[in-house]
């Protein structure tokens, strides 16, 4: 299967789930986005590495990197390899002088390590097709803007089940235009349940 390269484009607090965050991966040289809900500790681990902060003591992912470096294990890439019942599965592809090993990992941990090692992040077409979101306007360029609350559109946030498929698709377009990925995840999931 052909791998699709991704990069981290956003990390935001989840409005829909307490103590949850979303990491948004963007297709390299493309317009598709793959939002993934992660926990607060994992979001912090990713944010610390993205911002090049140096904690006084190593965090767990820093410890893992130090351990791998001490034993000459190189993290070559991570692959988001599967999606089952809304859960993403990932693999760490590690190289040594003598061997290549794939290690199962939670996607949030894999991303925290990828940022620390500066290695590429990949997934497969079927995962982007089933869980991804296309970001473009009529000129094919990503739009930026202020987030629109669903309440502002006259629809209560937790009442997606009461909306028609057409209304959901219109609402999805609106929140995507304003890069509100957290709400887009819930709307996309509701649309997928009906198809």
**Res 140 pLDDT > 90:** no
Q: What angle do CA 138, 143, 145 make, to 5 degrees?
A: 140
> What's the pTM?
0.71
Residues 33 and 93 both lie in one domain:
yes
Say yes or no: 127 and 141 in one domain: no
Domain boundary among 116, 131, 146: 131
Inform me whether the pLDDT recorded for 166 exceeds 90.
no
Average confidence (pLDDT) over 105-122: 97
Same domain, 21 and 117: yes
Mean pLDDT to the nearest integer, 109-134: 95
Amino acid 19: pLDDT: 66
The 3-class secondary structure across the chain, one letter per residue, is: CCEEEEEEEEEEECCCCCCEEEEEEEECCCCEEEEEEEEHHHHHHHHHHHCCCCCCCCCHHHHHHHHHHHCCCEEEEEEEEEEECCEEEEEEEEECCCCEEEEEEEHHHHHHHHHHHCCCEEEEHHHHHHHCEECCCCCCCCCCCCCCCHHHHCCCCCCHHHCCHHHHHHHHHHHHHCCCHHHHHHHHHHHHHHC
Which of 131, 146, 172 marks a domain boundary?
Answer: 131
Angle 60-61-62 from CA coordinates, rounded to 5°: 90
Q: What is the pLDDT of residue 176?
A: 72
Give the pLDDT confidence of 88-107 residue by residue, as tens digits: 999 999 999 999 999 999 99
- pLDDT reported for residue 53: 81
- The parent domain of residue 72 ranges over 3-131
């Amino acid at each position: 299967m052909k791998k699709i390269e991704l990069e981290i484009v956003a990390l935001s607090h989840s409005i829909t789930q307490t103590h949850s965050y979303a990491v948004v991966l963007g297709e390299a040289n493309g317009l598709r986005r793959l939002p993934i809900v992660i926990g607060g500790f994992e979001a912090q681990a990713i944010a610390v590495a993205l911002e090049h902060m140096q904690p006084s003591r190593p965090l767990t992912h820093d410890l893992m990197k130090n351990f791998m470096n001490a034993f000459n294990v190189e993290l070559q890439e991570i692959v988001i390899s599967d999606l089952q019942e809304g859960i993403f599965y990932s693999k760490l592809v590690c190289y040594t002088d003598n061997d290549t090993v794939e290690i199962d990992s939670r996607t949030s941990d894999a991303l925290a390590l990828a940022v620390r090692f500066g290695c590429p992040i990949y997934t497969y077409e079927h995962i982007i097709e089933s869980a991804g979101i296309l970001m473009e306007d009529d000129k094919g360029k990503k739009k930026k803007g202020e987030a629109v609350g669903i309440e502002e559109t006259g629809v209560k946030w937790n009442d997606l089940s009461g909306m028609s498929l057409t209304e959901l698709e219109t609402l999805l377009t609106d929140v995507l235009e304003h890069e509100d990925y957290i709400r887009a995840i819930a709307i996309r999931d509701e649309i997928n349940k009906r198809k």
